[in-house]
Amino acid sequence: MKKHILCWLAGVLAGWAMGNLQSVKAATAAEAAEAQDLFDGKTLQGWVQKGGKARYHVEDGCIVGTTVLNTPNSFLCTEKEYDNFILDLDFKVHPSLNSGIQIRSQSLPDYKKGQVHGYQVEIDPSARAWSAGIYDEGRRGWLVDLKDNEPARKAFRQNEWNHYRIEAIGDTMKTWINGVPAATLKDSMTPRGFIALQVHNSKEAGLQIRWRNLRLQAVAAPKLKALIIDGQNNHDWKGTTPGLRKLLEETGLFEVSVATTPGKNGAMDSFKPDFSQCQLVVLNYNGADWSPATQKAFEAYVRQGGGVVVFHAADNAFPSWPAYNEMIGLGGWGGRNEKSGPMVRYRDGKVVLDNTPGPGGTHGPQHEFLVEIREPNHPITAGLPARWLHTKDELYSKLRGPAKNLTVLATAFAAPQKDGTGENEPVLFTIQFGQGRIFHTALGHAAEQLRSVGFIITYQRGAEWAATGKVTLTRVPADFPTAEKSSTR
């Protein structure tokens, strides 16, 4: 125990010296290094019973579950929840009793009145021997049975102790029975929850199952895969891609790769990144059309729930690709005009669509401008100051597009004395396209603007939100800009 705390402390201190984000990483790594006992061998401390009234007690260093009559399935549940872990345990079961180990399971008032539900690693001493198959208790039924896995069926030992290893990491769950691989499941319906020991309801009272050596090792969550696309742009993409990459990596959440298209007049057919392997695509591209196959693949990726960040001049790209324009919501230049869709403005406290004819896309000279949050409850903007000064940048204005399923997060006033439109122009917004989430930042003309702390925080949060639908990067750093003073790193 002492050693564990010291390791952890050393990790935190080392991490602290490297900066806050790193310290979280170091602590996680230290935790992963040592397994924890879910059962102290003597008491049921840390466990709580849900569902039926089967009896649970402790005997000879084991948790013993005993059937009682006329009660539904019973569960002895950990009080804590776990997400990514490797769980090892032993059990010995009566040949007529069905049981199982719940993982990432839940009991919620608004789901079947609190019925325990979720992934169950089956304990099945019956003749079919599907022990270590994966069943979805109280929900979808069998997910992975052992019909086609004879070695795993044969691995079960009747009337003896059996060993399970259960791995749950990211969207993948794997099981082993007595060292033999049993089930592999890819499923992301429930990423975290309690662990529970089931005593199935039974027509016979007094049947018993024993569990012992319940050891859980927490594992760091797998990183999200992000892909930055560049290669052609009227902007300095070679200068901005390294910054866009570094800002994602420093969150600790992303593993980043870059796909660079051929240059102007290059053979665009050769550009076919595998979007299906990504959770996030960052668009730093404004150039020649992609091949029809790549366009189709990108549309399918987003429609099926892929995340996208549209970065600055990426909203100048592809004026004649309808789905792309729906995804970016609003764009500029490239011949865009009233036929491309309305402008989106913020007037008198609300978002207004402006159909006034005219070209789409303009900006005055670079200057510092005030960004005003219009959706303070969105995960990307929650907790940020309502108004903050962005560093010297272009203030994209008169952007036009389909503007479907678009949420304006923040606007900036384009002041006439800076050759502006006199309107509150949207600078940060989100779009829903099919199941996909898009975060669009009109900020960030060049590498210099990527140093703006306002840009950095909204880009990092926007990327996480686009990839996962949530934001865990909720900390507002001390150097975040105020309404009076911009801030750079």
State the residues that interact with Zn ion by CB under 5 A: 394, 445
CA distances (Å), origin 420, targets 204, 331, 343, 412: 80, 17, 15, 10
Q: In the complex with Zn ion, which residue's Cβ is closer, 198 or 241?
A: 241
Q: In the complex with Zn ion, which residue's Cβ is closer, 235 or 374?
A: 235
Among 224, 170, 218, 163, CA closest to 34: 218
CB of 307 to Zn ion, least distance (A): 23
Pairing state between β 387-393 and 424-433 = unpaired
CB of 454 to Zn ion, least distance (A): 17
Q: In the complex with Zn ion, which residue's Cβ is closer, 245 or 363?
A: 363
Given the structure tokens 């002895």, which residue do they identify? 76
Q: In the complex with Zn ion, which residue's Cβ is closer, 238 or 347?
A: 238
CB of 445 to Zn ion, least distance (A): 4
CB of 250 to Zn ion, least distance (A): 24
Residue nearest to Zn ion (CB): 445
**Using an 8 Å Cβ cutoff, are 242 and 446 in contact?**
no
Q: In the complex with Zn ion, which residue's Cβ is closer, 224 or 244?
A: 244
Give the C-alpha separation, 227 to 218, whole Å: 28
- Number of other CB atoms surrounding residue 248 within 10 Å: 25
Q: In the complex with Zn ion, which residue's Cβ is closer, 92 or 445?
A: 445
**Using an 8 Å Cβ cutoff, are 255 and 225 in contact?**
yes
Q: In the complex with Zn ion, which residue's Cβ is closer, 7 or 447?
A: 447
Give the C-alpha separation, 258 to 317, whole Å: 18
Q: In the complex with Zn ion, which residue's Cβ is closer, 94 or 445?
A: 445
Q: In the complex with Zn ion, which residue's Cβ is closer, 256 or 395?
A: 395
β-partners of residue 173 are: 168, 185
CB of 234 to Zn ion, least distance (A): 8
CB of 425 to Zn ion, least distance (A): 14
CB of 264 to Zn ion, least distance (A): 19
Is residue 100 helix, strand or coil? strand
**Using an 8 Å Cβ cutoff, are 408 and 426 in contact?**
yes
Specify whether the backbone of 402 is left (phi greater than 0), alpha (psi in -120 to 50) or beta.
alpha
CB of 136 to Zn ion, least distance (A): 50
**Using an 8 Å Cβ cutoff, are 111 and 91 in contact?**
no
Looking at 94-171, which runs of residues are DSSP E strands?
A: 99-106, 117-123, 134-137, 141-144, 162-169
Given the structure tokens 């962005």, which residue do they identify? 390
Among 151, 97, 148, CA closest to 124: 97
CB of 442 to Zn ion, least distance (A): 9
Q: In the complex with Zn ion, which residue's Cβ is closer, 375 or 448?
A: 448
CB of 34 to Zn ion, least distance (A): 50
β-partners of residue 47 are: 78
Give the C-alpha separation, 200 to 194, whole Å: 18
DSSP 213-255: EEEEEE-PPPPEEEEEEES--SS-HHHHHHHHHHHHHTTTSEE
